[in-house]
Amino acid sequence: MDLLTAARPRERKLEPTVTLHVYDTTLRDGAQQEGISLSVTDKLAIAPLLDELGVGFIEGGWPGAVPKDTDFFARAARELTLKNAVLAAFGATRKVGVATDKDPQVRALLDSQAPVVTLVAKSDIRHVERALKTDGAENLAMIRDTVAFLVGEGRRVFVDAEHFFDGYRYDPDYATNAALAAFDAGAEVVCLCDTNGGMLPNWVSDIVSELRERTGEGILGMHAHNDSGCAVANTLAALDAGAQHFQGTVNGYGERTGNVDLITTVANLEIKYDRRVLRGGRLDDATRIAHAISEITNISPFARQPYVGASAFAHKAGLHASAIKVDADLYQHTDPTKVGNDMRMLVSDMAGRASIELKGKELGFDLAGQTEVLTRITNRVKSAEQQGYTYEAADASFDLVLRDEVSGGLPEYFTVESWRTIVENYGSTGDEAIAEATVKLHAGGERIIVTAEGNGPVNALDQALRHAVEKIYPEIAKFELIDFKVRILDQEQGTDAITRVLIETTDGVSSWFTVGIGPNILEASWEALIDSAVYGLIHAGVKPVA
Amino acid sequence: MDLLTAARPRERKLEPTVTLHVYDTTLRDGAQQEGISLSVTDKLAIAPLLDELGVGFIEGGWPGAVPKDTDFFARAARELTLKNAVLAAFGATRKVGVATDKDPQVRALLDSQAPVVTLVAKSDIRHVERALKTDGAENLAMIRDTVAFLVGEGRRVFVDAEHFFDGYRYDPDYATNAALAAFDAGAEVVCLCDTNGGMLPNWVSDIVSELRERTGEGILGMHAHNDSGCAVANTLAALDAGAQHFQGTVNGYGERTGNVDLITTVANLEIKYDRRVLRGGRLDDATRIAHAISEITNISPFARQPYVGASAFAHKAGLHASAIKVDADLYQHTDPTKVGNDMRMLVSDMAGRASIELKGKELGFDLAGQTEVLTRITNRVKSAEQQGYTYEAADASFDLVLRDEVSGGLPEYFTVESWRTIVENYGSTGDEAIAEATVKLHAGGERIIVTAEGNGPVNALDQALRHAVEKIYPEIAKFELIDFKVRILDQEQGTDAITRVLIETTDGVSSWFTVGIGPNILEASWEALIDSAVYGLIHAGVKPVA
């Protein structure tokens, strides 16, 4: 019996006949997130990824209000060819007391050439009176006039009913009338916005069911924010209650706690509800697409993100590892390949031979049945972790351990004679200190001495090591240290404690993590830097020079 | 009409008569998160924060299975005094075919002295047969025997029914019998675990309601993971359906996508359901506590985290800003001060005058009404936080800022002329490096030069500074550096980034935290060391010697 098609969930499944709009607003509402600022080129790079994923609608921005959004639509018309999605332009209803066809903001929506126009409209009477500073009747007229005008111009019009849920709970009739005004004037969708994000699933469910009764056939939508941690559940609750359209953003980008995570919601619908909602159905590419988009937004991915996060299918508990090997489906809620993710075993202090074997396979070492090697590696890892190493976040260092044990030794690219760092600060704390490092090593039969300055001692060491090795192995020039983490392990003893350093290095294409420990940060960093260099050279296919 | 007490949500409210268990498992299940590794000292530092927050139960770990957890319970018995919470030890039912009183793992649970024992038990017949490799009857016997034995020894016994939901959907009767076996043997709570985290709220709601009918009066609990992005909603669904106990972790730490976020869930219950579920009710301190715990786990806080995240109440400045000032309640789902957070316009930073005034009072500075000083401090803190300082975890440094602004300057105990550190390592990485530091400063009319060796450059600097100052101010001799934390703030740039150091110093009686930042770890550490010395001398009542 398949868990995903058990009787209970099927009862909850949306009617397969209902078409469902997957409406992406990463480029508009997602860009409201603290720390995100998208250029026109960024948007032109993200849109094709959304199209590949298979969303139905891509909201590109607010032409007329935001100049670069006006440019985006102009360039999109020339440069973008979308296989699955339709572009939507976001805008507002006409201004108070202004004729629709005279409102420049509404004109700009037409000029954008977007086949869909999504109008934000007020549906909470308090916002009408206190923010818009007009009366309920004029707001309803603004909705009717603007929708009718744009429909008359041949556009598909969706209406985002702002603060709908708060408004409905304060004055159900006014909120309902705002929705009815939009439908009456020809709106195809009225999307109910939990603008402040504070709803809970039961509340959403009750309100959408009630509204459904009062609005008849028009398509209702859900626009959720995650302020109470329920954005995904609120969206599912709205769809269960009869909504047929939802808006979300990739990686849950958005103002405050963010918008609903579009991929999590889609994955729940396709995998748990057994509903195909993506056009072209590229859910199995979701992880790559989510990460590609985070490269463009330059927001580091959240490891715990459902379905696509780096940790989403990572298992630590060593006691389960052996069982997971046999019966993976008993230990994960779905098959990670359905969203283009992978199961990962974390080598932790609970590491058993089974998890080492799995981890080895992941890194391309087939250790199946090699009991003796496995035992040796397991013991080495255990004692290393007792000393303070952690391999769960340092795949490259773990790769070197495996390689060393499996092939009896690592390539000797260089041998270090000595290293030294000096940091001095003359004068008050305010001034900048000077940091320099000297590295002496032997490589390719030469004795190499390099002194480098750096922004701090670790950076100076990194520079000196790189330049010294570069003389014999130029490949190392393209490695760059991109992340550096320090943890003091036994805090009772403060700076007398063991220091653990994790560094991430990239060659511009991929990146790898190494770990080092020591009584002080420089020794720990040095060890991690050496691992990083050796791993990088091995994987660049470089042979040691005698 | 108050949104939070509108008719609809009230219908959904839990009966006020029902007592609800808030059970924290940050120290056990939370520690399963990739990248988290908690020392005994970490756990002893986190537990009091959980107790302050007001959780009812703190699950400390698995004594007998994890050696450092055995130590934790031993030290907790001596060192921890909890005002609100009760300690729980996590463990498993007896082994297959082993007599309960002969099972060392069960013995270890007794030896932990924890008043509550939480037993993980299998309730999915497939796991019983494939992972446990025994039959359904023996598994039920294992549950009955272990519960009865521990109850007989005077423990309160909770049972975590592992994989309960998947198990129930596969074989409802067996899962139900596992729950009944636990209750029959005297278990106080049967906590239903969505171990793989794939449930959706409707499914949880249906299963808990059905089970409620079949198990009668015993307390049911919910243990949710976030793999489908619905952990909070699943927990609320279980409570709505009659559960009276839930388990969660601070900051949603946990394996894969994490456990349910305890603070988000509690905030929803207290604020949206209007239910008081915390003992001592310190929800208004939740943000500080969540961030303090992330300093200990050394996992950077997630800005978009509901309620306590740095962005949770951040609004784009601009057209709404003024409206928000007038009518804040129209633009946020709740009052941020209810969870100790602040509303922010994105141009500004965390610090608001109100929170500064509050913090000042906490430190013994009455700033009420001193608008000009308050503004000056707020601006200084804002610009400092933009540079990378954080005062949340560095009360002593914040105390110095207040003192400086309030009394126009700090006592000048000494002035630094220069400092230098040298770290050298001759020979391979294995050998120990030598670290030394030289500090030149002026105090009591003398020019003092001290060179000290240390276990690493920071330790050497600490030693040299302490010995130099000691010549004039012997009181400093009893200060000891007991904790040292480093965070790289802009991880995009690796070692070129800003480094933030937090140190904890003790005089043997109390301890204080100071912060320093800089382009490298030594400059940042130096600043924190200076703050620590000055704060310590001030609070020892030492007067500067001219």
β-strand partners of B418: A426, B440
- Structure tokens that stand for B288 in this block: 């500080």
Q: What is the arithmetic mean of pLDDT over B540-544?
A: 94
Q: How distant, in Å, are the alpha carbons of A19, A86, B25 from that of A156?
A: 16, 11, 50
Task: Enumerate the H helices of A431-497 as residue ranges.
Answer: 457-470
Which of A133, A230, A313, A496 is most worth mutating to test chain B (most B CB atoms within 10 A of its CB)?
A: A230
8 Å CB contact of A314 and B255: yes
How would residue B478 be classed by pLDDT, with cut points 50, 70 and 90?
very high
Q: What is the ipTM of this complex?
A: 0.75
pLDDT class of B490 with cuts at 50, 70, 90: low
A309 touches chain B (CB under 8 A): yes
CA dihedral B502, B508, B511, B517 (to 10 degrees): -20
CB pairs under 8 A between A and B: 396
Q: CB contact, 8 Å: A313 with chain B?
A: yes
A198 touches chain B (CB under 8 A): yes
Establish if A421 touches chain B: CB-CB under 8 angstroms.
yes
A333 to B497: CB separation less than 8 angstroms, yes or no: no
Grouped pLDDT means (10 residues each) for chain A, 546 residues: 35 54 97 82 93 97 90 95 96 95 96 97 95 95 98 98 97 98 98 97 97 94 98 98 97 96 98 93 91 81 92 75 75 92 68 75 84 86 79 85 90 94 75 87 94 89 95 94 75 58 86 89 93 96 91
Q: Searching chain A, which residue's CA lies closest to the CA of residue B426? A: A418
Distance CA B291, CA B485 (A): 14
How much is the pLDDT for B518?
Answer: 87
Please, which pLDDT band fits residue B534 given cuts at 50, 70 and 90?
A: very high
**Residue to substitute from B256, B442, B489, interface A, most A β-carbons within 10 A:** B256
Mean pLDDT across the stretch B75-103? Answer: 96
- Of A348-362, A464-478, B117-131, B189-203, the range with the lowest mean pLDDT is A348-362
Asked whether A88 and A120 are in contact (CB, 8 A), the reply is: no
Chain B residues whose beta carbon lies within 8 Å of the beta carbon of residue A532: none
Model pLDDT, residue A5? 35
Q: Is residue A507 within 8 angstroms of chain B, CB to CB? A: no
Closest-CA residue of chain B to A254:
B304
CA distances from A73 to A62, A108, A362 (A): 9, 10, 44
Torsion of CA B77, B80, B86, B92, to 10 degrees: -50
Model confidence at B81: pLDDT above 80: yes
Interchain contact, A6 vs B169, CB within 8 Å: yes
Work out the minimum CA distance from B331 to partner chain A, whole angstroms. 6
Q: Give me the pLDDT at residue A321, please.
A: 64
Instruction: Calculate what percentage of chain B has a pLDDT beyond 70.
Output: 89
pLDDT value for A408 = 86
Q: Per-domain residue ranges for chain B? A: 20-297, 314-387, 415-539
Contact B311 A490 (CB under 8 A): no
Question: What is residue A77's three-state secondary structure?
Answer: helix
Q: Could you check whether A20-297 and A415-539 share the same CATH topology?
A: no
- In B314-353, the residues whose Cβ lies within 8 Å of chain A are 314-316, 323, 326-327, 330-334, 346
Asked if the Cβ–Cβ distance from A458 to B34 is below 8 Å, we say no
Neighbours of B511 (CB within 10 A): 15
Closest approach of chain A CAs to the CA of B17, in angstroms? 21
Residues in chain A within 8 Å Cβ distance of B343? none
> What is the per-residue pLDDT for A195?
96
The CA distance from A519 to the nearest CA of chain B, in Å, is 6
3-state secondary structure of A223: strand
The confidence score (pLDDT) of residue A14 equals 45
- Categorize the per-residue pLDDT at B296 as very low, low, confident or very high, splitting at 50, 70 and 90: confident
Q: What is the mean pLDDT of chain B?
A: 88
Q: In what order do the strands lie in the sheet with A511-518?
A: A480-488, A499-506, A511-518
Which of A9, A332, A485 lies closest to B196 in CB terms? A332
**Interatomic CA distance for residues B90 and B30, integer angstroms:** 13
Given a cut of 80, whether residue B393 has pLDDT beyond it is no
Residue in A with minimal Cα distance to B505: A494
- Shortest distance between the Cα of B359 and any Cα of chain A, in A, equals 24
A130 contact B CB<8A: yes
- For residue A495, give the chain B residue with the closest CA: B459
Give the pLDDT score at B6.
36
- Residue B56 DSSP SS3: coil
A520–B423 CB contact, under 8 Å: yes
Query: How far is residue A220's CA from residue B149's CA, in Å, rounded to a whole number?
Result: 56
Length of chain B: 546
| CB A195 within 8 Å of CB A166 | yes
Q: Residue A359 has what pLDDT?
A: 78
For residue B541, pLDDT beyond 50: yes
B495 and A454 within 8 Å at the Cβ level: the answer is: yes
Q: Residue B318: CB partners within 8 Å, gap ≥ 6?
A: none
Q: Taking Cα atoms as reference points, which of A351, A368, A352 lies closest to residue A406?
A: A368
> Do A461 and A437 touch, CB atoms closer than 8 A?
yes
Give, to the nearest 10 degrees, the angle between helix B395-406 and helix B521-539: 70
Q: Which residues 481-500 of A have a C-beta within 8 angstroms of B?
A: 481-497, 499
In CATH, the number for domain B20-297 is 3.20.20.70
Q: Does A16 touch chain B (CB under 8 A)?
A: no
Token pair of B458 as six digits:
């920071």
Distance linking the first and last C-alpha atoms of chain A: 62
CB contact B375 to A (< 8 Å) = no
Provide CB contacts within 8 A for B84, sequence distance 6+.
B51, B52, B54, B55, B56, B278, B279, B280
- pLDDT of B307 above 50: yes
Q: Is the dihedral of CA B519, B521, B525, B526 positive or negative?
A: negative
On whether any CB of chain B is under 8 Å from the CB of A428, the answer is yes
Q: Is the pLDDT of residue B267 over 80?
A: yes
B416: nearest CB among A8, A428, A459: A428
pLDDT (0 to 100) of residue B11:
40
B14 near B239, Cβ under 8 Å?
yes
Task: Mark yes or no for CB contact A237/B206 under 8 Å.
Answer: no
Smallest CA–CA distance, residue A345 to chain B, in Å, is: 10
How is residue B331 written in tokens? 């633009």
A257-261, A420-424, B106-110, B228-232: lowest mean pLDDT where? A420-424
Q: Does A464 touch chain B (CB under 8 A)?
A: no
C-alpha–C-alpha distance, residues B348 and B458, integer Å: 34
Chain A residues in contact with B491 (beta carbon < 8 A): 300, 482-484
- Pick one of 3.30.160.270, 3.40.50.40, 3.90.230.10, 3.40.190.10 as the CATH number of A415-539: 3.30.160.270
Q: Which residues of A touch B9 (CB under 8 A)?
A: 200, 202-203
pLDDT tier at B320 (50, 70, 90 boundaries)?
low
Any A CB within 8 A of B457 CB: yes
Identity of the amino acid at B186: G
Question: pLDDT tens, B404-432?
Answer: 998 889 999 999 999 999 998 876 545 67
Whole-number Å distance between alpha carbons of B342 and A258? 17
> pLDDT value at position B466?
95
